[in-house]
Structure formats: C-alpha cells, structure tokens
C-alpha cells in the first residue's frame, strides 16, 4: 500500500509538471503572437505615416515650384517691340508681286524699311519701297495683326508714304501720304492722313489716300 501511494504521488507530480509546461508554452506562444501582431501593426502604421508624409511633402514641393505657379497663359510674352529687321517682314514681302508701274522688285534690305512693326501689337505696319528707289518712288505698307501678315494697306502703291507715329495706337495705324507741290522736296506739298483700324476681325480704312 505504501509503495502504491508513492507511485501515485509521483504520477500526480509528473502530470502537474507536464500541464504546467504546456500552459507556460501556450502562454509564451500567445504572448509572442500578440507581440508580433502589435509589431506588425506598428510597422505598417509607421510605413503608412511615412508614405503619407512623403506624398504630402512631394505635393507641397510641386505646388510651390515656379512651373506650378505660372501657367502657360500667365507666362510673360517675349520678343515684343518694334523690330523692322524681323524675318516676318521679309517673308511677307516675298509674297508681293513686283511693283506694276516701275516693274521693279521690292527692296528686301531691312535698312530700307520704315514703320512700327511689332509682333505683339494689335495692328502694326512695315513700309517698303522698290529696289533702286528715289525720293518719289512708290511705297507699300504691309499690315500685321499680332505678327500675322494681313496684306497691303492699299492695292496701289503710293510715293511719299510715311507712318504718322504720334497719331498711331496699338490697334490703329495712321499713314501720311504727301502730295508734292511745285517740286518733290518743296514745302508747298500737302499731306493726307488715313487711318487703318483693327475692329476685331479685319482692318477698316478710315479716309482715303490722295488722288494721283
């Protein structure tokens, strides 16, 4: 009986030890899983916060860049101002047939051009003359709307044609036509001013050049 009791006690102690070990292992596994889950959650949250912060910083940098602040429509226009040496004038001049009265070609040398051609102006002009011109040779006024060639001011070329710069505006070109008096250079000649106005769609001539 005594030995049987001792065996029983030993079995009970061993069983208790095994249960205790299992319980301890399960608790450790549960704690490890909990810690792993918590760590993964914290890592994912930190990564999300980092990505959000990075995206926010990138978006803010893009919004503050010069190209984001200035749209193409707001970009400053360059190349404005009177430019009688512009290739646009020579390109327009190349479209003109030779002057019918003298049968001469037009002078393409920018040094011979007059006027106020401006690629940004609503209406501007370049006055050209023939090759080998004298003081009374025919002139022709080429008209431009914001740098685009429209045609000549008149179908006929007139001598003594000049720009009345003081009377001209951004959308109106005023040309002065001289009618010689007793001689081409004599002071008894008369001047006729004619306005050429851009009305939004085309050029309107106000007045008429003198009869020749």
pLDDT tens, residue by residue, 60-81 = 333 333 332 323 333 344 589 9
pLDDT band at 207 (very low <50, low <70, confident <90, very high): very high
Average pLDDT estimate for 190-210: 96
* Bridging pattern class, strands 161-163 and 124-129: unpaired
The C-alpha atoms of residue 69 and residue 63 are separated, in whole angstroms, by: 7
For residues 188 and 139, the model is more confident at 139
Spell out the residues 6+ positions from residue 192 whose beta carbon is closer than 8 angstroms to its own. Answer: 176, 177, 178, 179, 207, 208, 209, 210
Question: What is this structure's pTM?
Answer: 0.63
So what's the pLDDT on residue 212?
67
Domain ranges in the chain are 2-69, 87-206
The C-alpha atoms of residue 98 and residue 113 are separated, in whole angstroms, by: 16
Q: Which residues pair with 106 in a beta bridge?
A: 130
> Of all helices (H) and strands (E), which one includes residue 143?
strand 138-145
Q: Which residues pair with 177 in a beta bridge?
A: 161, 192
So what's the pLDDT on residue 6?
42
So what's the pLDDT on residue 180?
86
pLDDT above 70 for 179: yes
Q: Which of 64-78, 155-169, 170-184, 192-206 has the lowest mean pLDDT?
A: 64-78
So what's the pLDDT on residue 185?
79
pLDDT above 60 for 50: no
Neighbours of 145 (CB within 10 A): 16
pLDDT above 80 for 143: yes
């Amino acid at each position: 009986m005594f030995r049987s009791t001792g065996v029983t006690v030993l079995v009970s102690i061993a069983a208790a030890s095994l249960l205790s070990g299992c319980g301890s292992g399960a608790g450790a596994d549960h704690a490890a899983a909990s810690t792993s889950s918590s760590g993964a959650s914290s890592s994912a949250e930190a990564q999300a916060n980092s990505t959000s912060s990075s995206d926010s910083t990138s978006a803010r940098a893009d919004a503050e860049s010069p190209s984001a602040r200035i749209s193409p429509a707001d970009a400053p226009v360059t190349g404005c101002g009177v430019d009688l040496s512009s290739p646009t004038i020579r390109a327009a001049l190349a479209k003109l047939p030779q002057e019918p009265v003298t049968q001469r070609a037009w002078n393409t040398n920018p040094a011979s051009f007059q006027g106020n051609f401006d690629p940004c102006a609503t209406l501007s002009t370049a006055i050209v003359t023939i090759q080998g011109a004298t003081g009374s040779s025919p002139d022709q006024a080429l008209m431009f709307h914001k740098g685009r060639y429209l045609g000549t001011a008149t179908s006929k070329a007139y001598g003594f044609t000049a720009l009345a710069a003081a009377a001209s505006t951004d959308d109106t070109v005023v040309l002065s036509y001289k009618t010689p008096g007793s001689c081409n250079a004599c002071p008894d000649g008369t001047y006729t001013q004619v306005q050429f106005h851009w009305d939004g769609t085309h050029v309107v001539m106000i007045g008429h050049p003198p009869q020749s």
